Amino acid sequence: MSPESRSQATAAGIILLGAALVIYFLPTIVLWIGNFSPTLAIVVGVCLILAFFAVFWLRARYQRSRGK
């Protein structure tokens, strides 16, 4: 495994681990925020889910700009 592919695998693993933690605690976070405002809870839940996809989208743009 080349150092570049090892770095990419490590970055993807860290991103997936972070996303797994957020998704694991998402119901607790949304229910806690829902005590104050149900609308805000929906917005926070949607933003946390979209953040998972945004990270990979930004990473792909960065990789494309580097020409890889």
What region does 67 belong to: left with phi over 0, alpha with psi -120 to 50, or beta? Answer: left
**Verdict on whether the full-model pTM lies above 0.75:** no
Q: What is the pLDDT of residues 6-49, one digit of tens each?
A: 888 888 889 889 889 988 999 999 999 999 999 999 999 999 88
- CA–CA gap between residue 62 and residue 65 (Å, rounded): 5
pLDDT in the model for residue 41: 93
**Terminal-residue alpha carbon distance, the chain:** 17
pLDDT in the model for residue 3: 75
Higher pLDDT, 1 or 55: 55
pLDDT in the model for residue 59: 82
- CA–CA gap between residue 49 and residue 31 (Å, rounded): 15
Work out the angle at residue 63's Cα, subtended by the Cα atoms of residues 60 and 64, and round it to the nearest 5 degrees: 85
